Amino acid sequence: MAEPLIRLVDLRKSYRVGDVTVHALRGLSLDIEKGSFMSVVGASGSGKSTLMNVLGLLDRPTSGQYYLEGKDVSGFDKDRRAHLRNRRIGFVFQNFNLLPRTSALENVELPLLYGGRSLPAADRHARASGLLEAVGLGSRMDHTPQQLSGGQQQRVAIARALVNEPELLLADEPTGNLDSRTSVEIMEILQRLVRERGITVVLITHEHDIAEYGTRVVTVRDGRVTSDTPVAERRDAAAERAALPPLEPEPAEAGAVQEVSHG
Ligand SMILES: Nc1ncnc2c1ncn2[C@@H]1O[C@H](COP(=O)(O)OP(=O)(O)OP(=O)(O)O)[C@@H](O)[C@H]1O
Ligand SMILES: [Mg+2]
């Protein structure tokens, strides 16, 4: 098999708070293939955001290795991390983090201004508007965040995360503030990015039905990976459970269920 985009080996991250040491990651190991869509689930406090901060080069592990395309970046200092992050990693957060009173188009263009690449204004504009069109906001480019719905704001945030053409997109609870229908739209956009642009997506979520939009679900508990399952298998297991004969068969209900599964 080809080298994974990311290999994490025995990652540990501890925070010192006063006299107390908090062990947020306790020996986490994981391979992430290029062009895959991995969901991370786990209870509050299990270490998901800590993992995302390390993956996103926002923070450094206390020990362990982080190989990005075979190169150990775990010891990189702040400047080297920032340089790598700006070119290769995009972020999407629960709260969208858009600039208020600034149009969707300018929000998306912004990372191009401080990303280190000096693109002419016309090219910045073309790239940002192309991405807004790709997320279905071609007619909303001049709207400010407060003139957009939550789902539309998150789509602007996704376009912004993509403007530097990252290969890795990290999303921490991107649907946390959205209703379920809008959440599905956002998940379908992420799936399309994986399929059509070969982007690697790591999605953190509390919601198991959202997690299953990925192709693999990793469970984190107490700073370690406790399960790692392809989604197709999870679906099979769920189908098997559903296929078990009911304890007290009721013909009318069985018929209704069958009809649903065929429709
Ligand atoms: N900057 C920090 N300083 C001290 N402790 C921290 C810090 N960040 C996280 N922690 C602690 O590390 C552990 C893991 O936190 P983390 O934010 O990674 O959890 P999480 O899985 O993202 O939780 P949630 O689902 O609530 O977002 C928690 O016990 C938390 O209190
Ligand atoms: Mg978190």
Name the token pair of 225: 């990976």
Pocket test for ligand 1, best of 41, 44, 50, 93 (most atoms within 8 A of CB): 50
Residue 249 located in a structural domain: no
Determine the pLDDT at residue 150: 95
Percent of the chain at pLDDT > 70 equals 87
- Answer whether residue 253 shows pLDDT above 50: no
Question: Which one has a higher pLDDT value, 13 or 117?
Answer: 13
Report pLDDT for 2.
Answer: 78
CATH number for the domain spanning 199: value is 3.40.50.300
Rounded to the nearest integer, the mean pLDDT of the chain is: 90
Could you say which ligand is closest to the alpha carbon of residue 51? 1
Pocket test for ligand 1, best of 14, 15, 205 (most atoms within 8 A of CB): 15
**Closest ligand by atom to 221 CA:** 1
pLDDT at 262: 47
| pLDDT at residue 251, rounded to an integer | 52
Tell the residue nearest (CA) to atom 1 of ligand 1: 15
Q: Sort residue 214 into left (φ over 0), alpha (ψ -120 to 50) or beta.
A: beta
Query: Would residue 130 count as lying in a domain?
Result: yes
Query: Is 255 inside a domain boundary?
Result: no
Number of domains forming the structure of the chain: 1
Which pLDDT does position 1 carry in this prediction? Answer: 62
Average pLDDT of the residues in 192-217: 95
Tell me 98's DSSP state.
Answer: P
Ligand 1 pocket: which of 12, 49, 93, 170 to mutate (most atoms <8 Å of CB)? 49
Work out the angle at residue 220's Cα, subtended by the Cα atoms of residues 215 and 225, and round it to the nearest 5 degrees: 85
The structure tokens listed for 88 are: 């290769």
33 has pLDDT over 70: yes
- Cα–ligand 1 centroid distance for 19 (angstroms): 17
Q: Backbone phi, then psi, for 204, in 5-degree steps? A: -105, 130
Asked whether residue 176 carries a pLDDT value surpassing 70, the answer given is yes
pTM, two decimals, is: 0.87
Neighbours of ion ligand 2 (CB under 5 A): 48-49
State the Cα–Cα distance between residues 181 and 49, nearest whole angstrom. 25
Cα of 24 vs centre of ligand 1, distance in Å, is: 6
The answer to the question of residue 258 being in a domain is: no
Of all residues in the chain, the percent with pLDDT exceeding 90 is 82
Domain-embedded: residue 223:
yes
Q: Which domain holds residue 178?
A: 6-240
Is pLDDT of 238 > 90? no
Residue 170 alpha carbon to ligand 2 centre in Å: 12
What residue has token string 């994490």? 8
Protein residue with least CA distance to atom 11, ligand 1: 24
Q: What is the pLDDT of residue 116?
A: 61
Q: Is the pLDDT of residue 259 over 70?
A: no
Asked, for residue 256, whether it belongs to a domain, the answer is no
Q: What angle do CA 74, 77, 79 make, to 5 degrees?
A: 125
Q: Which of 1-5, 186-190, 257-261 has the lowest mean pLDDT?
A: 257-261
Quick one: pLDDT at residue 257?
45
Measured in Å, residue 244 CA sits from the centre of ligand 2 at 36
Is residue 250 pLDDT above 80, yes or no? Answer: no
**Nearest C-alpha neighbor of 139 from the set 104, 111, 183, 184:** 104
Domain presence at residue 245: no
In tens, the pLDDT along 83-136 reads 999 989 999 999 999 999 999 999 999 999 876 667 899 999 999 999 999 999
User: What pLDDT, on a 0 to 100 scale, did the predictor assign at position 221?
Assistant: 97
Question: What pLDDT is attached to residue 36?
Answer: 97
In a domain, residue 254? The reply is: no
